Amino acid sequence: MNLSKSSKEEKNEEPDFASWIRVFRPPANVPDWIKANIVVDLVLLQSLWEDIKTKATEDKKVRMVLKESKSQHLYIVYDTYVKDKEVSSSSHSPDRDNEDDLPI
């Protein structure tokens, strides 16, 4: 599994762009503590609202990732990475819970 990609990207090999939000590098004459200019298209956001809600996690948050293309353009994609379930030894051998069967 490639952790540098979201699980959705891994399956589709195409990023799921958050097209309603755009990120631009600031002009050269702004202070260095300004890292980006962000524009939110409210009309597009409203029309995509139901689709955006489907990308929310159980905690009702939508996560996004700011990425940079090879041509150094900034863009945002939805982060739909889902951590794999942790596997414990008891889930591999559920019948081993009974200690009466131990040979010692």
17: β partners: 77
For 18-85, the DSSP string reads -TTEEEEPPPTTS-TT---EEEE-HHHHHHTHHHHHTT--TTS---EEEEE-TT--EEEEE----PPP
- pLDDT tens for 42-91 read 999 999 999 999 988 888 999 999 999 999 999 999 987 777 777 766 66
What pLDDT does 86 receive?
76
- pLDDT tens for 8-32 read 445 556 788 899 999 999 999 999 9
Domain boundaries, the chain: 7-83
